[in-house]
Structure 1
């Protein structure tokens, strides 16, 4: 199906977290009915959707029944089981498709794909045992970082290896799971580009954002990043090659290291991304609307910002002073509807917008 979905069509979302919630709200704004599939009936996205299907990921009957009610299905996180996508695909178009998941669910597969697509990466090695870890560290050198190949996010499933680190302890720290060892990148700053690709292969991207992380969690994004036109062009070329290589439909993000004025790819997110939240208040078309447009086969919206923005994540107890945040006229407050505050949990974000800097 390549015909655009008409308003009133049903778009399904696999996953009911905050990204699904903001996708559902954007989709409703374009006139679509949004159905959400998530094991938790009380998930944040389900409470703003037209319909919630609460069932396990391995219930293929429920997945197929859900998909049969939808004109297209998308997802808000990359750990949706591939079998669920296959089951949904038998009933309705799934956008993006299985290839985007397969390439990004496994860090080793992802890094190899990035390298083969022409994106620069740090040196890396496959690790399947303590002996292989010892060999890889000897080859790559210290410091380096050990990451599980699957199911890691926000700093989980990772162990930094420094001069004093005991390798057996690092291997135990990640649960002795299949892993990838990566060299440290001597970066000046962390950047990301959020892009969208259509059914016909058109790619459009927002300006680069500059990101600050702490404890493996994104804390602040500033956009547009102060970069040269050449660096922005290089980032777009990288995103275009990756989007085409994945045959992606929808929004995706590429996290980058700025190393001596050049870009090294850290990882890919085959979905809307935390570092793109600034687009909600600084652009005419947010990343969430952009994703819905691409999935529905609509023309992409404009990616150029009308304002500069500082996006600040509200992590755990950061959300407690919500009254003061809501009273701050300089900030746009976005809360995710999560019932319980926990350390390290993303509870919301604020966007502080300001005039774009004048071009010299």
Structure 2
């Protein structure tokens, strides 16, 4: 089987998958990004971080060749890399969240166009929603006071726990802009933490910021009507601030008949009809088209509400609020990103053990 066909198969094992198209545009993307040698090496690596020596020993290839390939793939955003002193370790990443986002610095009009075709033809329709890699949390402390807000549901608490924060431009809005479908929302709004922040900064895709600036950016995102979406783990490596016009994961969620059931969010919006003055501010703010006007009052469609709270923060009469979903509808994210990846694979009937490894055993 062609190495790119095998690569597409392997990518479909990870995260939300790598659905195929009838046009084959996904293969054009892979051939644009990976050389045949790089594709072969990807197939012989795992999500676990490894040293060049470990990769060379397993693949039986010369260490010098492996180092060159790993550095090439890292420079192109096809691998994650973490430095430990003077040593480097590398691991493969999914398509999304993964090397799609890592194209931020090198994205051009041609590649953006290929991504756009892929999203329209397959990814937004067929990518798995059994457990999304991102979840939705309230933009601010806008939850009714009787509800306990857990630290991983509180953006300020998430930021307060991080000592290394970086901010980058939104890959989705950059990509949409290159194909003439961009919007006017802020660009520099995507956060990464810890080793993920180091990766983004080292590759020239982001800059370090302190907690104070991070909170200022969060406030600007709320004003702009962006939905905060951390990675779907209690200790996320970062989070995006997404719009319903450009952002892939939010667009895929928006396309669902009942986004509320697919999203990892524990809240719904509620409108007090007695306080609602029918100003329709919340209609423009809602990225899920979950609010409509009924007899001059805002009404929330709970099947579409993802609990972001954008309708709450600008309601002039405090008619809107967030309330906890019933216990049976609440979802607890896995503790770590690694556990999230395992859970996603299990729910999809996939394995994080590379196909080539399984074939050898």
If the length of structure 1 is used for normalisation, what is the TM-score? 0.24
If the length of structure 2 is used for normalisation, what is the TM-score? 0.23
- Greater share of helix: 2
Higher relative contact order (CA 8 A, sep 6+): 2
